[in-house]
Chains A and B, each alone.
Chain A
Amino acid sequence: MKRTVQKALGYAGAAVFMLAFWEGMSLLLHSPALPVPFDAFAQVVEQFDKLVPQFGYSALRVAAAMAIGLLVGAPLGLILGRSRRADLVFGPLVFLNYPVPKVVFLPVLLVVLGIGNASIIALIAIILFFQILVTARDAARAIPAASVLSVRSLGADRWQVFTQVVVPGAMPEIFTALRIGAGTAVAVLFFSESVAGSTGLGWFVFDAWGRVRYSEMFAGILAMALLGVLLYEAIELAESRVCRWERAGR
């Protein structure tokens, strides 16, 4: 309870600071491209009925993409981290593709999957897949040999070592990858929605921009920020449930 209050106060403080900064910059710039916060919030209220469904589209897309990236990337990364043979075969494949900016594949995805949800989700999922895979691989490698040894001495087979030691041992790092990935996901969401569709917050912002309705655009940006915060907090909540030991002894 105390933690929740502390957290709320933290967000409130950050919001006040950002709003003051924004207001200051807006007055300083004196340009329609950066409206004062009040105008943006007025648009949030005015466009509320339009914003809510777009928010819903975007949230579902990001959530689906993160789930796919996690469910495919994490197990694969853990396996690569623990099996030298698998790493020899698939490691180079991963690292060959890892530095390529995946957004350049959006045109290809549009051809294969068409305009809409599938392309947007696929693009974000591919990017998160690589981020999570590389983190999970390193985390699996860093698991202390003594942990594995002690469980093996109890008679554990490879699968039991994997489920009892590797998976929980790498879990905190995987959550870190997810948190970092949440930021990337929202950024890519904006790009892909503005190119590959006519729904979602990315499209909302891009559309308002095209119509030179800057206050409306910032209403969309505020909604995106909210989406990011909700994702981040959802991941935090999941981690505190799954990795209870991390909070112990502190």
Chain B
Amino acid sequence: MADVRIDALSVTYHGVDADVPALGGVDLTLADGDSVAIIGSSGCGKSTLLLALAGLLAPTGGVVEVGGEPVSGPRLHTSLILQDFGLLPWKTVLQNAELGLKIRHHPVRERRAHAMDALERVGLSEFVHLFPSELSGGMRQRLALARALALDADLLLMDEPLSALDALTREDLQDLLLALWRDRKHTAVLVTHSIEEAVYLGRKVLVMTPRPGRVAAVVDNPGMGESAYRQTEAFYEKCAELRRLLASEGALHVGGVAS
């Protein structure tokens, strides 16, 4: 079970000159197997939220719970996928895919089998002995996904995983993400800059305010998950709705200081 409960989460970074509030009281509840896309301008604390969920950052205040348990460190079945550098350049495709299992001291044969399964699912089984530098951007992201799958993650945290990719590869991987989510029924939290991506992949879309980040609105997106959602009228309307919301959110804070 990977239901998520975030209650009044606040995070303040201790900067060199002054304390920087990154999150100022975020509430979010996700049922097990739900999918949420988080969108907002740069510096709204989206990544901070993910790090807190991953257990890599201690909150300044508030509660983060996954599966009914407070998060106090990396959780066994949570997987964090970063935009870049998440892969280790000195490990081959196979070694990268099985890294999580290796760190958890799984026996070699078992982790190899899990990693091979995962690589198969993302279409990389022919490239196991290459190094990340020999892969295209899309293949690297597939590998990052495979690592999460090999861990049998029930909570996938993704920090703009596709933002460095070209448009076609990006759609391709969005389809893969959707297919995996529908198939595996894991809980997914996706941070993105793209409105279309948020609407395509988030059953809920969370709009955040600039620093310190707060939840400005939660948009329900029941049409998500349908095949060919991208081509429907509903999809365009949802994107337009979100765009209006973001614009008003930006307008609210022009020249103003968020308190």
Contact = CB atoms under 8 A, between A and B. Distances in A.
A and B associate in one complex: yes
Interface residues of A, number: 23
B131 A153 contact: no
Contact of A160 (B76, B89, B103, B134): B103
B79 interface: yes
A248 interface: yes
A250 B74 CA distance: 35
Given A154-B103, A169-B90, A248 B82 contact: no
A112 to B, nearest CB: 41
A169 B89 CA distance: 8
B103 A164 contact: yes
Contacts of B84: 146
A164 B89 CA distance: 11
Contact of B88 (A153, A164, A243, A244): A164
Contact of B56 (A149, A160, A169, A249): A149
B88 A151 contact: yes
A221 interface: no
B88 A168 contact: yes
Given A147-B85, A150-B82, A155 B133 contact: no
A249 B131 CA distance: 8
B82 A146 contact: yes
B99 interface: yes
Given A152-B56, A154-B74, A249-B134, A164 B99 contact: yes
A155 B131 CA distance: 23
Nearest to B134: A249
A32 interface: no
B130 interface: yes
A146 B88 contact: no
Given A146-B85, A147-B88, A249-B131, A153 B103 contact: no
Given A147-B85, A164-B88, A165-B88, A152 B131 contact: no
Contacts, number: 69
B104 interface: yes
Contacts of A153: 54-56, 74, 78-80
B131 A151 contact: no
A144 interface: yes
Given A149-B82, A153-B54, A153-B56, A168 B100 contact: no
Contacts of A154: 74, 79, 99-100, 103-104, 147, 151
**From DSSP, what is the main secondary structure of chain A's interface residues?**
helix
A149 B82 CA distance: 9
A243 B89 CA distance: 10
Interface in A162-213: 164-165, 168-169, 171
B222 interface: no
Interface string A124-150: 000000000000000000001011011
A52 interface: no
Given A147-B85, A151-B99, A154-B100, A248 B80 contact: no
A152 B74 contact: yes
B250 interface: no
Given A153-B79, A160-B103, A245-B133, A168 B85 contact: no
A237 B119 CA distance: 32
A156 interface: yes
A247 B90 CA distance: 11
27 contacts: A146-B82, A146-B84, A146-B85, A146-B86, A147-B85, A149-B82, A150-B80, A150-B82, A151-B99, A152-B74, A153-B56, A153-B74, A153-B79, A154-B99, A154-B100, A155-B76, A155-B103, A160-B103, A164-B103, A165-B88, A168-B91, A244-B131, A245-B89, A245-B91, A245-B131, A248-B133, A249-B131
Interface of A: 144, 146-147, 149-156, 160, 164-165, 168-169, 171, 243-245, 248-250
The 3 closest A-B pairs by CB, nearest first: A249-B133, A146-B85, A153-B80
Interface of B: 51, 54-56, 74, 76, 78-80, 82, 84-91, 99-100, 103-104, 130-134, 147, 151
Given A150-B86, A154-B147, A245-B91, 6 more contacts: A150-B80, A151-B99, A155-B100, A168-B91, A248-B130, A250-B133
